[in-house]
């Protein structure tokens, strides 16, 4: 099962890469953007937790996103030591196109499934994720 899920993830990433490349975004930036579209102004720690990656990986991702003009880091007015991550005008303009690209990839991936099969698949995926998230974390 692990091999098949990993293969599916790689294939989805490749398809997403093709769809979003024209917008100057790479798949590793996509989850951060989705979370910031949902709630702009998160801290790096909040974003790291929501995306579910390691802090150094998030730091590198944000550095590239800042370089590419997708985000800007702004000191929190209530605590100048805390930095908040904000979307730029450029990344806001990309939101609908990126959402469309993600939807297109998902639609292609599930094109051969009937609605009841897709619902069962999604339910099973959620249960698998919940089971693995319940395992003890590494320290």
Domain extent listing, the chain: 2-133
pLDDT for residue 32: 97
What is the CB neighbour count within 10 angstroms for residue 133?
Answer: 9
What DSSP letter does each residue of 78-126 carry, written as one string? TEEEEEEEEE-HHHHHHHHHHHHHHHHHHHHHTTTS-HHHHHHHHHHHH
Q: What is the mean pLDDT of residues 27-34?
A: 95
pLDDT for residue 115: 96
Q: Positive or negative CA dihedral for 89, 60, 67, 106?
A: negative
In the three-class reduction of DSSP (H, G, I as helix; E, B as strand; rest coil), residue 41 is classed as coil
For the domain spanning 2-133, the CATH number is 1.10.10.10
pLDDT in tens, 70-123: 999 999 999 988 999 999 999 999 999 999 999 999 999 999 999 999 999 999
């Amino acid at each position: 099962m692990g091999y098949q899920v990993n293969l599916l993830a790689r294939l989805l990433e490749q398809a997403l890469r093709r769809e979003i490349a024209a917008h100057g975004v790479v798949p590793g930036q996509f989850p951060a953007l989705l979370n910031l579209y949902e709630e702009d102004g998160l801290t790096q720690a909040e974003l790291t937790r929501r995306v579910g990656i390691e802090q150094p990986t998030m730091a590198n991702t944000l550095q590239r996103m800042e370089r590419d003009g997708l985000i800007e880091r702004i000191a929190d007015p209530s605590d100048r030591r805390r930095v908040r991550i904000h979307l730029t005008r450029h990344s806001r303009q990309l939101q609908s196109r990126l959402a469309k690209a993600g939807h297109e990839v998902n639609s292609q991936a599930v094109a051969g499934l009937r609605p009841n099969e897709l619902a069962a698949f999604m339910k099973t995926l959620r249960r698998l994720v919940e089971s693995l998230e319940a395992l003890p974390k590494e320290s």
